[in-house]
A = this chain, B = another copy of it.
Amino acid sequence: MTITDTIESEPMLMNKTANEFEEIVGGITAPQGFRASGVYCGIRKIKKDIALIVSDVPANVAAVFTQNKVVAAPVVVDKELLKRGSGTCSAIVVNSGNANACTGEQGMKDAWAMVSATAAALQLPEEEVLISSTGVIGQYLPMENVVSGIAQLPALLSTEGSNDAAVAIMTTDTYVKEVAVEFEIGGKPLRIGGIAKGSGMIAPNMATMLAFLTTDAYMAQPLLQKTFGILVDRTFNRISVDGDTSTNDMASLLANGMSGAPAIKEGTQEYVRFANALEFVLVKLAKMIVRDGEGATKLVEVIVNGAKTEAEAVRAAQSVANSNLVKTAIHGEDANWGRIICAVGYSGIDFVPENVQLSLNGLPILEKNYGIVIDEVKVKEAFANENITITINLNQGSESATFWTCDLSKEYVHINASYRS
C-alpha cells in the first residue's frame, strides 16, 4: 500500500486533525519565493480586478480544471500551455468581472494575448505563464484594460501581496479567502498558502471557483499532480452552493522548493505530513467558499456514515447538500428531517430506509425503524448556530463522506436575479 492509498482510504482525515496545523498570516505569499499583486484595471465597475502571482524560480505545477463541456477560453489555453511546458510555472494572472467564456475565436485570441502580455512583462517564456478569468459569461474581455492591468502588476509585486491578489479575484464574494500554514518536516519549516474565490455556481467538479495555492516544499511534478488531484476531489469537489458547475473553474498548486527542504517522496512519513497540511488548507478554503455562498447565513456539513462505499456516501451526501428543500428548511431553522431522508431516497444509492439514523449537531433526530426522537426545543436551540452538521448513518457499511453546503436564502435569489445588471 502506497501512502497515496493511505490518503485515499482516509476521507475524514482533516476532520480528525483539524487543529494540528498552525495557521499563519500571509496567504499565498507566506511560502518563500512567492510574490503577488492586485490592481484595478477597469473590467469591473469598482474594486481591484486583476491579480498576479509569481514564483521567483520556476515552480512545479499541479492544476485541475472544470469538467463542464462548455469550457472558457483561459481554460483551453492553460491546458495547451501545460502540454507545451515542462511541468513548471512561474506566473499566474487572473482577472475578475469577465469570464471570457462562450466568446468563440475572439475569446481565444484575447486569452492568448493575456498570456503573451504577461510573459513579456515578466520576461518569461509563455509556457511559464497560466491565466484565469471569472465573471460574466458571453462578453468579450475589454483587452485595453486587461493589458494595462498586466503592465502595472509586476511593479506592484510584493511578498505581502497575497491579500491584494485575493481581493482582485473576488466576484460576488463578501470576504477575502486566504489561508496559510507552517509545519515542520525533519526540522525544516515548510509553508503552504492559498487564496480562493466563490461564490455562486459552486458545485462539485470545480464549479465557478478559483483557487491558487503555493508551497515552498519540493515535490516532483507527477506526484504533485496526483496528490493535488486526490485532495481536490475530497475538498473542492465536495462543496455545493447551488449545484451549478461553471465553465471557468481552476485550482492550481505551485511548489517551488525554496524552503530548501529535501524533495518529498511518495511512501514516506514526510509525504503524509505534507498531504495532511495541504488537505487542511484545502478544507479551510472550501468551507470559506461555502460559508460565503451567495446569500448564505449558515455553513452546513453533511456527513454520511455507514455506507457500503465511499462513492455511495458521497452521492447521498451530495443529494442532501443540493436539495433546495433541505437548504431552505435549514435557512428557516426548521428540523424538517423528512426532506433529508427524502433526498437520500432519490440520490440513486441502494439502502434500507428503516435502518437510517439522523442527527443534527449531535442531537439525535431519527433512530432506526423511523424512531422519531427529536427534541424540538433542543434542536431549535442548535439551529441558532451558524454551523450546522447533519449526520446520516446508513448502517450498512463502514465508509463515510463529508459534503459542505450552505442554506438557501431570499438573498440568493436577490443576488442572482440581476447578476448582469
Contact = CB atoms under 8 A, between A and B. Distances in A.
A247 to B, nearest CB: 5
A413 B322 CA distance: 14
Contacts of A339: 137, 244
22 contacts: A69-B349, A69-B350, A69-B351, A70-B342, A71-B345, A101-B338, A102-B341, A136-B336, A136-B338, A138-B338, A200-B325, A201-B342, A205-B346, A242-B325, A244-B342, A325-B416, A332-B419, A332-B421, A334-B417, A334-B418, A334-B420, A334-B421
**A interface, by DSSP: helix, strand, loop or mixed?**
loop
A111 B346 CA distance: 23
A79 interface: no
Given A70-B353, A336-B419, A336-B420, A243 B372 contact: no
Most buried by B among A322, A325, A354: A325
Given A69-B351, A104-B370, A328-B413, 17 more contacts: A69-B349, A69-B350, A70-B342, A71-B353, A103-B370, A136-B338, A138-B338, A138-B341, A244-B346, A245-B342, A329-B417, A334-B420, A336-B420, A409-B413, A410-B410, A410-B413, A410-B414
A416 B332 contact: yes
A247 B342 contact: yes
A137 B338 contact: yes
A102 B413 contact: no
Instruction: Report the contact-size class of chain A (Cβ under 8 Å from the partner).
Output: 35 or more
A183 interface: no
Contact of A412 (B242, B413, B419): B413
A324 B107 contact: no
A66 to B, nearest CB: 9
A346 B351 CA distance: 27
